[in-house]
Structure 1
Amino acid sequence: MNAAFDHHPARLRRSVLCLPASNQRAIDKLVTLDWDAVILDLEDAVAEEKKQEARDNIRAFLSTGRSADREIVIRVNDAGSAHFTQDMALVLECQPDAVLLPKVRARDDIIDVATFLSDNDAPDTLRIWAMMETPLAILNAGSIAEVGRTQGGRLDCLVVGLNDLRKDTGVPFDPARTYLVPWLMQVVLAARAFGLAVIDSVSNEFRELAGYEAECAQGRAMGFDGKMLIHPAQIAGANLAFGPSEAELAEAREIIAAFSTPEAAGLNAININGRMVERLHLEQAGRLAARADMIMKRAAQ
């Protein structure tokens, strides 16, 4: 990624827990859970009459301090709603790590909010995440993701929302997500083209964890960085599925060690146990090892 657009260090986003900001009990429980990022939701999960109470809960939670290695994200209501102005005022006041925009349709939805944040002197560390949950979002995935490579665009992460997408397209629920795979991969491709993180959709299964874990494995195989979660019981599965395995870590360390020898100096490809390994694999190995180090550091805290 071009250094001009690389505004923040790498983040762990294996487990992205979403909870209604109106649920004070769930917010209180956060300190006991091993999530990588939390989305405090002001949108669909919060009843109309609870919106202000939810904002007050977020304000109180963010006033108590936060961990530098975990992201706190506020999902605001849609820009066309009666709540958007108050939600964005809260974002400016509390300065979470990111604001998550629901029902994104086109790049201007991102640019308008980025401009608003800059016009109101929000720090550059306040980033934007986009919910990819409308048919137009999928059609426009490339141009939306490109905002992440635009100076001042603030866009860091795409989050797939399949519940809304299923509703809008008529695609029925299918545990294998057969007819949704092309759309999921389109979002992954758009994110990778412009150096963004990309988060797989929620699984509504939080009691039958075998099916949920299979969906996590599918998301990892597709190239997602992590999964959006709706229940604490899903955290461990996401952290395991989207973290490096022991075999992957061992291979990465072998590649790093092989390229660090004097014999490999100046070589773009070397032979490791009968396999031709290029420097691009060294870069991948370095990123994976860095993620493993972040996970181990978290575990030691």
Structure 2
Amino acid sequence: MAEPTVRVSGIVLSSLMFQHVNRDSDVEGLILGESRIEEQVTISDSQADHIHIEEVYNIQKHIACHKLNDFYDNVGDVNVDAVKKILAENKQENLIGWYRQRRNTDQQMTFREKVVHEKLKSALSNPHMIFVLLTPSKVTSPGSTHRMEYAAFISRSRCFMNVPVLVNNLGLLEQLAYWKVSAPFSAAGYNLTMKKHSAKFFSSNGQLRDVNEVNKMNESLQSELQKACGDVEESERLVETLQADVSALRRRLREKKQSNWSKHLNLSVWTKFLTFFLGVCRLMRIINNHSSITKVSSSCILRFEQC
């Protein structure tokens, strides 16, 4: 069974959001584009060839209705004439679905939307129709920031399933990879403009000009970026080394200051001790001298009494 996928360009998606977010009420309209079946064959030596079939819906344009319920009535019956009037000059075979914008609601189809979708498929005899639902909501209470969520749905045997939406200019692509995007509508003005200016950008075989030069420039930029990253890494390592040296010098200076302080403290203690010792010695000398004088005076007094 083919896996369905919806693809839309960033320009179409952004214009759809910008146009309808500024409306005061809910909006609905028709989606134009094309649907096709892609077959991808994966060749491998270890196993048999793997064939992957994918059903792709390419959204290329949208047409907004002037009011709600413009192409269907209250019970969901589709008015084909109203659909053709909305399409105007666009071809009916380019109609691949419709969309609806509902504010501050869940991303789920309502019962009425499911009924309208099934009857639109029956009225246009096109089983490959999609429904795109956009649900804008406020992220902050003042309304300065909004969030726009979008989803696509298809029906298989009246069972609706969510289909992944891929934006062509978003995602990680390889350097030489390009999306397979369908060509836009064959409008007369578009074809005239493309014929006039395509020679400036495309070669005779349809390839873009100067792609190799752009790739070379990209490689040069990558090499310069890697060189700059190497220089930054080297400078960061040098800074780390300098910081380690500064920390070591600060530690040595702190240890030296502590050592000098210890030496100064010991010297002052010894100085005080010597001063105290000399003072004691002088005191002992004075005491000894005083004792000898006392002995002499006592001897003289004794002799005087004897006389």
Q: Same fold (TM over 0.5)?
A: no
Larger radius of gyration: 2
- Report the structure, 1 or 2, having the larger strand content: 2
The two structures have a TM-score, normalised by structure 1, of 0.31
